[in-house]
Structure 1
Amino acid sequence: MKKLFFSFFILLSTLNFSQTKLFTVEDVIFGTSRKPQPFRQLSWIPNSDSYSWIDGQTENQVLLSSNIKSTKVDTIISIKEINENLKSLADKPIVNLFINWISKNELSFWNGANYYSFNTKSKLLTKVNSTNNNAEEKFVSPNNKLIAYTVGNNLFFSKEAGKEIQITFEKDTNIVNGQAVHRNEFGINSGIFWSPNSNYIAFYRMDQTMVTDYPLVDITPTPAKLKNIKYPMAGQTSHQVTIGIYDTRNGKTVWLKTGEPLDQYLTCLTWQPDEKYFYVAHLNRDQNHMQLKKYDVSNGELVKILFEETNDKYVEPQNELVFLPNSNDKFIWQSQRDGFNHLYLYDTEGNLIKQITKGNWVVTQFNGFDEKAKNIFITSTKESPIERHLYKVNLVSGEITKLTKDSGTHSAIPNFNNNYFIDSYSNLTTPRVVNLINTKGDIVKNILTLENPFKEYKMPETKIFTIKNEEGIDLYCRMILPTDFDSTKKYPVIVYVYGGPHAQEVNNIFGMGRYFTWFYLMAQKGFIIFTLDNRGSANRGLEFEQATFRKLGTIEIKDQITGVNYLKKLKFVDENRFGVYGWSYGGFMTTSLMLRTNNTFKVGACGGAVIDWKYYEVMYGERYMDTPQTNPEGYNESSLLNYVQNLNGKLLLVHGTSDPTVVWQNTLSFVKKAQELNKPLDYFPYVGHSHGVTGKDAIHLYYKITNYFLENL
């Protein structure tokens, strides 16, 4: 048996404090680990080896600094001082201090529509610029003087305080400028892109006039009001996107000639450092053919296609180009073309100079160059899929040097010349450690070792290990044992599942936040909490991720049952008491496991569940399922409406009535089918909430979920 399911095993338990405090649902929502942590907004001060952070709460917030070679802590400014200065400028006080460093002696912050700079030497506060009071999507230019922003569906530009210049003039609100497009897929999180020297603003224009409306209802007024959103569902007409380049000096806009098909995806928008050319990754609607194109900024003409990438399933460009320092003709491109996300060095004629990184591991972040651009720094899974470490990679030799030494999940912030890094990490037994390290990986200074936030609580033991599925693939698992665990007893199991793309649940981290605190609460109540990352989840390579293509739910179920079968062989597991909980894709998985595993699970609870992928949006849905027209078998197999008759256990579905991500139609359709088949179903709508339940209503949600398992499992 041991050979069957163990290929790798690590056992790390949480810190063994002899404390007896028990978790409550209130702890889950507002508890210790969810309170503001020390060293907030930790960042380097430009062109120095000093760093700053925010300390204190509310009116006692202060901006502090220290140096890498000193133990002295200096106060730069307090929120009280800022508010005194704002008072003299006839502006309202700020409530929270959020700063951004401009230079060694200058920082900036927003106060409503006003943008300020503060000189740390002269102590002078200056109002740099301002926007319309209704401005959204505000982006400050690289020279920290100009602001691009949106009001409604149009794009504006502020040259100086009080001088607003309108760039677009769309009267139809279904045509949107300066906002994120393609429903924030492909790494897109904004719609405004300043040029390096602040001369141009590139922006998205999204025409949604051809997309059908989807109704959301607001019941707070009398009578209730209809709010339509644009929600292109899989196989239906999608929106059309173009890209404008606005010249801030002459007020003219040039439109890139991105051509047809009009429902293509445009992503990875990147400026060449000299501002002469602009780069766009074009992805066809089938998402299996990408072309990286170079455009002339002066006239919008296509200069050339640099290279193309194809895949029989999908190509997923996520990252903009990164130009080498002081270079206008060499850049780094990220791609999964060899099966794992790696870095490639290209010139701007489209010639591949070399593949920089290679191996059966994933680059998760590009961290920058060293001072002479001879080495790059990356974060990757090279050590282990469940860990993240910082590495130095020589651009010429390809030699890779691991810089972070302690096991766990590391996140690194380089200083201005990348001679030092702020290295923040945690692991199963370490809540949070922040060190300053050099390019050899040596710890120069420890600036934080966080006290265990759960030191007063009776904590369960946590294990991370792997099991093999029938194909011999290692699947990473996490098991949280009940407190006061007794191996001679039998315990019920709650499987927490997500299981979908772009997510990895099992990591070597110290578990904090809402989900983990709920896991600990349920462990105190006598449940085993088990999680397995099935095929289709992230950071294991393209073959692992694409295994679910065109048949979402099928392969994932198979892997999850591998986990269940492993658990059933453990003497301390009650094989008749399995429950499952998840949200969003995890809601889809929860419902799938309740309906498609021959009554393996006795109880399920989930929120925001996708029930039928034909109700999901175009970009995500078609990437992983193709369209209902081209893949009817796959849509039919994954649709949970076809399995409602199999519901024999207890299932609780909850859904936000204003959910714009997984629309309410999903679970309402399931309820209707359950009614038709006379199948008992527990259902609760969270009125007015979107894809998650927040605020005081979250207390209600977690009491409901907790009690559901206590009463039924």
Structure 2
Amino acid sequence: MEEATLGIRGKLAPQNIKQTAWIPGSNAFTQLAGNTGNEVLLSTSVPQMKSDTLIRLQDINQALFNREPLKAMPALQWIDGNSFYFSIANTFYTGQRANGKWQYNKWRVVPEQAENMQVDKGSQQIAFTTANNLQLIDNKGQLHAVTNDNNKNIVNGQSVHRNEFGIDGGIFFSPKGNFLAYYRMDQSMVNDYPVVDWASTPAVANLIKYPMAGGTSHQVTLGVYNPITRQTVFIKTGEPKDQYLTCVTWSPDEQYIYIALLSRNQNHLALNQYDARTGALVKTLLEESSDKYVEPQHPLHFLSGKEFIWWSQRDGFMHLYRYNTDGKLLNRVTQGDWLVNDIVATNTAKKELTLTATKESPLEKHIYSVNWESGKMKRIDNAAGYHTPEVNEDGTLIIDRYQAGNTPRNIDLIDARKNWRKNIVTATDPLAAYQRPKIENVTLKADDGTALYGKLIYPVNFDPAKKYPVIVYLYNGSHVQLITNSFPASGNLWYEYMAQHGYIVFSMDGRGSSNRGLKFEQATHRQLGTAEMEDQLKGVAYLKSLPFVDADRMGVHGWSFGGFMTTSLMLRHPGVFKVAVAGGPVIDWSMYEIMYTERYMDSPQDNPKGYADNNLLTKTQNLKGKLLMIHGAQDDVVVWQQSVKFVKACVDNGVQLDYFIYPGHPHNVQGKDRVHLMQKITDYFDEYLK
């Protein structure tokens, strides 16, 4: 069970090379070599493939850590071709090369309680938060208290809007480091919510701010701090105050800040340009509207001082559009019934972007170059599967890590200019010695004819004359895709463990899940759980059509949105599944966070029927079969109260339910305790399904 749960990221992980990075200003990349305690960082030139020792851990230890030597090479971040930094706890160190020799020094020390640390390499400044305030250490080592809010409910420099809309932080250095923009979130108007620490006696209620659908949301503004004047200007984003501020981007000349303002109901977006020095609105460059929702996920990508790439799903798929800073659309860069995943490099000389996209298949990710004027596109990789590139500054040299169902990991070096490639790693199969099941790709059709992709995992030592129990594993929510052409082909070693123990395992991405475009995703709008269940029942019908499936022994399992789906199937389609395990489930969407829920469901006030139809508290009396519900006691994503109220509804209706909690764990159970979790789930299926 430990191997099945932790192995693919641990001792069963395919061979890899660590600390790969392109050295700035060179055609050389780094990789880690050597044994623990004696590691070295190698530099390999391309295309000569000559490797030399660049940095020795022993030298770093001798210079900086003589008393307590580091056991492993720290994660080095290149500043330029001759300098780097790294951090150990709250202390930053630098390495600088002069006359072929490295000099190592202690650089900066931040407070022990510092969080959200961000280094601006160019200006060599460090911004960080302590509690709810933002601080800055400038390039002279001076400490700036950028904010000094005594009200703990005003939070500076941290991620806002609960990490929706592609937001993953709240600190934005300007391109040359002359200014520091940051989110300021006032959540004093949001209800307190207790997340109880049961490890203390008596237990301690840690109060967080959790804005629930239809309720009062927080209010966000953007400040711009000038380290020279030590003054802050706030951008005048205006009313309504509970709008969402997304896609924050500096102009290359530091004169302007661009912000996409998204309405609370998420059906209208305006991309605005603001004067960074006064905070005044300069102009609105573009607007996007939808009868369902607009979902920005990316900041602007500047091509020059006057042109940028804007990401948009306006035609149903996430594509790239070239605009000038007057707001004029110059051209579409990409188009088609597929979507762009990421921009990974810019080649200004050739007017090309290096990007990853689903052009070949929604189940794969490949690397392309595209001319941003002509739209001419060229695929760079040449193997099926899921590709993750590391690209040098101009997109000409690529370290291409890829995998496919039966390809554990290959790493190729690619010179995109000369169409040259060299394989540097072909990982052996770490699962070769194990008894593994047959895995079959399945394509079904939704009610509207849309293709639904799934995988059927057969029991080992399969006998077609026998009938086997089935476990359906699902998620089926937005921004998640379970079915891809990646290693292992099953998608999860726990599935294979269950197949070794006599189960068929089936998994499928229904409408609402990721990488299929807006029509596929928005089929669930205002009725989360309904279209998704229709699709999953197509999977059930397919399973029942197989002569070796025991339709009386079908189980279902999922976590988070998958927990909601699992519970929904048991209550809204009782009798289909004999046994279910639902983890961290949403039970009542009116108790989930505003940003996510109102995008897909609108507000409870605007869509009372949608919320009522999918409220599982009112359906406990329908339960047939065995249901085990599991929740993390410190869950601040799907709050524990969701399933506690479900237990109460079961008690009120005289319905029996099995229930388990994981104290100390938030939304997901991780680490060694995850082995306990998966054993708990397995034992439940073994007891009631096998």
Work out the CA distance in 2 between the residues paired with 1:32 and 1:691: 21
Aligned residue type for 1:298: R
| 2:336 aligned to which of 353, 359, 363 | 359
Work out the CA distance in 2 between the residues paired with 1:311 and 1:186: 16
Work out the CA distance in 2 between the residues paired with 1:323 and 1:28: 44
Tell me the SS of whatever aligns to 1:59.
coil
Higher relative contact order (CA 8 A, sep 6+): 1
| 1:307 aligned to which of 282, 286, 303 | 286
In 2, are the aligned partners of 1:462 and 1:478 still within 8 Å (CA)? yes
Residues 625-647 of structure 1 show CA distances to partners (whole Å, capped at 9, x for unaligned) of 11111111000011111221111
Q: Judging changes above 3 Å, is the alpha-carbon distance between structure 1 residues 72 and 205 closer, same or farther for their aligned structure 2 residues? A: same
Which residues in structure 2 correspond to 1:594-613 (within 5 Å)? 594-613=570-589
Please tell me whether residue 386 in structure 1 is matched to residue 383 in structure 2: no
Please tell me whether residue 192 in structure 1 is matched to residue 171 in structure 2: yes
In 2, are the aligned partners of 1:130 and 1:161 still within 8 Å (CA)? no
In 2, are the aligned partners of 1:498 and 1:583 still within 8 Å (CA)? yes
Residues 351-395 of structure 1 show CA distances to partners (whole Å, capped at 9, x for unaligned) of 111111111111111122225142222211111110111112122
Q: Judging changes above 3 Å, is the alpha-carbon distance between structure 1 residues 249 and 161 closer, same or farther for their aligned structure 2 residues? A: closer
- Once the 2 structures are TM-superposed, how far is the Cα of residue 179 of structure 1 from its aligned partner? 0.3
Q: Judging changes above 3 Å, is the alpha-carbon distance between structure 1 residues 555 and 371 closer, same or farther for their aligned structure 2 residues? A: same
Please tell me whether residue 163 in structure 1 is matched to residue 142 in structure 2: yes
In 2, are the aligned partners of 1:658 and 1:690 still within 8 Å (CA)? yes
- Once the 2 structures are TM-superposed, how far is the Cα of residue 275 of structure 1 from its aligned partner? 0.3
Residues 320-353 of structure 1 show CA distances to partners (whole Å, capped at 9, x for unaligned) of 00010xx211000000001110000001111111
Q: Give unmatched runs, 5+ long, in structure 2.
A: none
In 2, are the aligned partners of 1:115 and 1:130 still within 8 Å (CA)? yes
Q: Counterpart in 2 of 1:617?
A: 593
Q: Counterpart in 1 of 2:58?
A: 80
In 1, are the aligned partners of 2:566 and 2:582 still within 8 Å (CA)? yes
Q: Counterpart in 2 of 1:409?
A: 386
In 2, are the aligned partners of 1:130 and 1:160 still within 8 Å (CA)? no
Work out the CA distance in 2 between the residues paired with 1:624 and 1:562: 23
Work out the CA distance in 2 between the residues paired with 1:58 and 1:460: 36
**Deviates further, 341-350 or 362-371:** 362-371
- Once the 2 structures are TM-superposed, how far is the Cα of residue 115 of structure 1 from its aligned partner? 1.7
- Once the 2 structures are TM-superposed, how far is the Cα of residue 676 of structure 1 from its aligned partner? 1.1
Please tell me whether residue 654 in structure 1 is matched to residue 630 in structure 2: yes
Q: Judging changes above 3 Å, is the alpha-carbon distance between structure 1 residues 164 and 92 closer, same or farther for their aligned structure 2 residues? A: farther
In 2, are the aligned partners of 1:403 and 1:440 still within 8 Å (CA)? no
Q: Counterpart in 1 of 2:426?
A: 449
Work out the CA distance in 2 between the residues paired with 1:33 and 1:180: 28
Work out the CA distance in 1 between the residues paired with 2:683 and 2:492: 17
Q: Judging changes above 3 Å, is the alpha-carbon distance between structure 1 residues 30 and 385 closer, same or farther for their aligned structure 2 residues? A: closer
Q: Give unmatched runs, 5+ long, in structure 1.
A: 1-24
Residues 76-98 of structure 1 show CA distances to partners (whole Å, capped at 9, x for unaligned) of 2233332222136x888476611
Q: Counterpart in 2 of 1:276?
A: 255
- Once the 2 structures are TM-superposed, how far is the Cα of residue 163 of structure 1 from its aligned partner? 2.7
Work out the CA distance in 2 between the residues paired with 1:463 and 1:76: 46
Q: Counterpart in 2 of 1:54?
A: 32
Q: Counterpart in 2 of 1:571?
A: 547
In 2, are the aligned partners of 1:131 and 1:162 still within 8 Å (CA)? no
- Once the 2 structures are TM-superposed, how far is the Cα of residue 303 of structure 1 from its aligned partner? 0.1
In 1, are the aligned partners of 2:406 and 2:489 still within 8 Å (CA)? no
Q: Counterpart in 1 of 2:499?
A: 523
| 1:532 aligned to which of 508, 517, 520 | 508
In 1, are the aligned partners of 2:439 and 2:489 still within 8 Å (CA)? no
Q: Counterpart in 2 of 1:675?
A: 651
Q: Counterpart in 2 of 1:143?
A: 122
**Deviates further, 479-488 or 563-572:** 479-488
Please tell me whether residue 697 in structure 1 is matched to residue 676 in structure 2: no
Work out the CA distance in 2 between the residues paired with 1:646 and 1:323: 55
Aligned residue type for 1:189: D
Tell me the SS of whatever aligns to 2:684.
helix
**Deviates further, 68-77 or 516-525:** 68-77
Q: Counterpart in 2 of 1:8?
A: none
Please tell me whether residue 250 in structure 1 is matched to residue 229 in structure 2: yes
- Once the 2 structures are TM-superposed, how far is the Cα of residue 129 of structure 1 from its aligned partner? 2.6
- Once the 2 structures are TM-superposed, how far is the Cα of residue 532 of structure 1 from its aligned partner? 0.8
| 2:436 aligned to which of 455, 459, 471 | 459
Q: Counterpart in 2 of 1:63?
A: 41
Q: Judging changes above 3 Å, is the alpha-carbon distance between structure 1 residues 32 and 387 closer, same or farther for their aligned structure 2 residues? A: closer
Residues 83-141 of structure 1 show CA distances to partners (whole Å, capped at 9, x for unaligned) of 222136x8884766111111122221112222222135321112333322221111111
In 1, are the aligned partners of 2:438 and 2:458 still within 8 Å (CA)? yes
**Deviates further, 261-270 or 620-629:** 620-629
Work out the CA distance in 2 between the residues paired with 1:406 and 1:441: 18
Work out the CA distance in 1 between the residues paired with 2:154 and 2:33: 43
Please tell me whether residue 558 in structure 1 is matched to residue 534 in structure 2: yes
Work out the CA distance in 2 between the residues paired with 1:380 and 1:517: 27
**Deviates further, 347-356 or 479-488:** 479-488
Count of matched residue pairs: 685
Structure 2 length-normalised TM: 0.96
